[in-house]
């Protein structure tokens, strides 16, 4: 999913908005994250995947879930693929990954897209 598509969804009716989960490091989340997104733990670590499971425990299996990390270039991110796989293994059928080609700083915050800070 491209950033513009996510922004459009986030501006829509509340009931239609996706659950947006940051699956990178807590430090990165604290520095800057997508407003309304939830820290769900680093997808590359077992503890992160457990936290992710907890964050989606009450979500409907067909709920639109958008995950993102942005720690490094898309092709080298260690967090997104394991988180995506875990969500599918849990039976979620509407999971998308936000495309961040280089990193969250340059591809989201650096382009003037909205950010929130803190935990």
Burial class of residue 58 in the structure, from the number of CB atoms within 10 Å of its CB (0-12 exposed, 13-18 middle, 19+ buried): exposed
Give per-residue pLDDT as tens, 44-103: 999 999 999 999 999 999 999 999 999 999 999 999 999 999 999 999 999 999 999 999
The reported pTM is 0.96
Instruction: Please give the CATH superfamily to which domain 3-9+19-111 belongs.
Output: Rhodanese-like domain (3.40.250.10)
């Amino acid at each position: 999913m491209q950033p513009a598509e996510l922004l459009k969804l986030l501006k829509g009716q509340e009931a239609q908005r996706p659950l947006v989960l940051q699956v990178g490091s807590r430090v990165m989340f604290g520095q800057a994250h997508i407003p309304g997104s939830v820290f769900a733990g680093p997808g590359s670590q077992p503890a992160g995947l457990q936290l992710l499971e907890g964050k989606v425990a009450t979500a409907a299996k067909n709920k639109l879930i958008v995950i993102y990390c942005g720690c490094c270039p898309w092709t080298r991110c260690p967090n997104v693929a394991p988180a995506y796989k875990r969500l599918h293994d849990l039976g979620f059928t509407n999971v998308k990954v936000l495309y961040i080609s280089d990193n969250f700083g340059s591809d989201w915050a650096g382009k003037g897209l909205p950010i929130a800070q803190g935990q």
